[in-house]
Amino acid sequence: MTEQALPFLTGAVSGIGGVVRAVPEDFRVEERPLYLPCGEGEHLYLRVTKRGLSTREMVSCFSSALGVKARCIGVAGLKDANAVTTQMVSVQGSSPELLSRLQKDSRILSVEVLGRHRNRLRTGHHAGNAFQLVIRDVYPSATGAAPLILEELSRRGVPNFFGPQRQGRDGLNYTIGASLLQDAARRARMPRAKRLWFLHAYQSFLFNRILASRIDRLDRVLAGDWAMKHDNGACFLVEDGAVEQRRADAFEISPTGPLFGSRAPWASGEPGEIERAAVASLGATPESLCQAAAACGFRGERRPLRVRLDELTWALKGNTVTLSFTLPPGAYATSVLRELMKTEIK
């Protein structure tokens, strides 16, 4: 299911249109740290602000400039190139004296030394992202549409779709992931990082399809759901949806969908039927996916169908909308933008 084919939670309200990322400064992201370095260890923690430079490109630049291998550089999340982004980076076996070498790259705006730590920064080791966005050339109807859309997203949650980045330029990375599940020889020939990227693309595609099937009820918990507690990420099996709905209405819990793996549970009851139907549409079964995932060595997990839209502020001036908000780790700002704009987001 392509980005354009995904349904909208706020489909009853027309989008505001417009253009985002007219310049990188229109899309600002600041990663919020989960913890700060303890002050000792071989990993140097930095706060890096960059413009027009993706996280992968930044790692390559750091590797070349500092003379360390890419695997010695840790990041908590991946950031796009067409933006101004701030994120933490850890570098093993380097010293602050060498950081002046990074000034040769004009895309790196600032590098702040936070201190040393014993462990490498790893994926997911952040508390979320704060966004400051500008949407230009919006429709005149934005005056009425924007508050309606943003109110519903604030009340019911943002659909936790994976963004199109996972599927590559042609949108077909998931097909490679599907073939890798069945082809052990091809998996063996492919570097681990690349192999996992394609397998995760297949996970994402399936999750998006399941969420699309429940978009109108993404804030409803049903018997058989695996619900997630937002305060600690723990999941539990819902026995009585009516009993648990009060907690869902308070945004304490949300239903989840599978990122399939050897140990990730599947829902039962009506939610389980929805998940099985989505898997069957791809020519598989939950059992076959679990077996294939075990052979590939990944366990899987459950992902909430919605996330909170926190710290939201916005303004409309002329034909330009500015907005800021925070999202938890793993959530995409494009999920907010596509609901608001309802146009292709580049």
Catalytic residue list: 80
DSSP character at residue 11 = T
- Separation CA 189–CA 74 (nearest Å): 25
Type of residue numbered 1: M
- How far is residue 272's CA from residue 322's CA, in Å, rounded to a whole number? 40
Q: Token pair for residue 304?
A: 């909430």
Q: What span, in angstroms and rounded, lies between the C-alpha atoms of 308 and 336?
A: 11
For 112, phi then psi, to 5°, come to -110, 130
The alpha carbon of 257 is separated from its chain's Cα centroid by a whole number of angstroms, namely 14
Beta strands in the chain (DSSP E): 19-20, 27-33, 43-51, 73-75, 84-92, 108-117, 126-136, 158-159, 226-229, 235-237, 253-259, 301-304, 306-307, 310-317, 320-327
How far is Cα 62 from Cα 107, in angstroms, rounded to an integer?
12
Picking from 270, 293, 275, 122, the residue whose alpha carbon sits closest to that of residue 199 is 293
Distance of alpha carbon 145 from the chain centroid: 26
Alpha carbons 3 and 18: distance in angstroms, whole number:
17
Read off φ and ψ for residue 286, nearest 5 degrees.
-55, -40
Question: Which helix (H) or strand (E) segment is 198 a member of?
Answer: helix 192-213
Distance of CA 87 to the CA centre of its chain: 15
